[in-house]
Amino acid sequence: MAQITMSEMLKAGLQFGHQTRRWNPKMKQYILTERNGIYIINLFKTLDLIDVAYDFIKTTVAHNGTVLFVGTKKQAQEAIKTQATRVNMPYVSERWLGGMLTNFQTVSKRVTRLKELEEMDFSDVHGSGLTKKELLLLEREKDKLEKQLGGIRNMNRTPSAMFVVDVNKEALAVEEAHKLGIPVVAIVDTNADPETVEYPIPANDDAIRGIELLTTLFADAVAEGLLERSGKSAQSEGTSTEQPMAAWEKELLENTDRENAVVTESAVLKDDEAEGASSEAARSDAHFEASQAEQDTESK
């Protein structure tokens, strides 16, 4: 279940919708009231929908799925990039390129081109056999591709699910996902159509703190799925996963191994000390018995 409270949501301003004149009638069921010309979202319903979407994301990742994080509006860019990177998932935080999903084969070729350019040393004019101008143009091409495709450089196939901030802003991304049958979890404000996505999260999609809160929450769902996935992999020898473990996950497992090693070493030392004490006691008893035997001989 998602670890989020009503208090956190209120502090992040997730309850504030758009002006009443800028609403979508299909959001009526998620609106609590109107205050000063602004719709107030019913966060109790939001919490229920968060739990459902959270479990979906967790289960998807646990079954070797990939979640693509999408948020190109200024308020969402940093949170999307930071949280997706944290759990080793692909993301799009700059402009969504048309065909990024529906024409994935062509996009993959551009990603390959990006990786080729990244291997070049643009400062080595003599070794490259190119002119300074040619190297400069290639470097600019690399920078452009990095900005456009850097977040999906390790996405080898279309994602299993998508997390989206603002369905109106990312309408093209949502449309492409639907064409390919990719389920979408999305933050949906009062000016949007919740029926365009499978897992709508009614909430303010403009507040930076709110976006950070929800993006972090669903990144946590991915993290839980990764842990569950790695546990299944450990139980099945020779079974590999589609996605490598995130850096935080490797560190967690390494720390656990180190702690177990320390505990084992301490136990061995205690056993050695106990064995030494037993040997010393045995030697002391033998010495006592020998002394008693000598005294008995002398008395005789």
For residue 183, is it within any domain? yes
User: What's the pLDDT tens digit per position in 186-195?
Assistant: 999 999 999 9
- Predicted model pTM: 0.75
Which structural domain, as residue segments, surrounds residue 275?
A: 246-300
From 202, 235, 268, give the residue that closes a domain: 235
177 lies in the same domain as 291: no
229 lies in the same domain as 253: no
The residues near 103 (Cβ < 8 Å, ≥ 6 apart) are none
224 lies in the same domain as 255: no
280 lies in the same domain as 167: no
To the nearest whole number, what is the mean pLDDT of the chain? 83
Strand partners, 91: 69
Phi, psi dihedral angles at 162 (to 5 degrees): -135, 140
DSSP H/E element including 31: strand 31-35
Q: How far apart are CA 284 and CA 59, in angstroms?
A: 64
CB neighbour class for 193 (10 Å; exposed up to 12, middle 13-18, buried from 19)? middle
CA-to-CA dists, residue 31 to 1, 63, 106, angstroms: 24, 35, 42
Q: What is the torsion angle, in degrees rounded to the nearest 10, for the CA atoms of residue 74, residue 78, residue 80 and residue 81?
A: 130
Question: Where residue 33 sits, what CATH number does that domain have?
Answer: 3.40.50.10490
For residue 118, is it within any domain? no
For residue 135, is it within any domain? no
Higher pLDDT, 238 or 100: 100
183 lies in the same domain as 263: no
For residue 149, is it within any domain? no
For residue 221, is it within any domain? yes
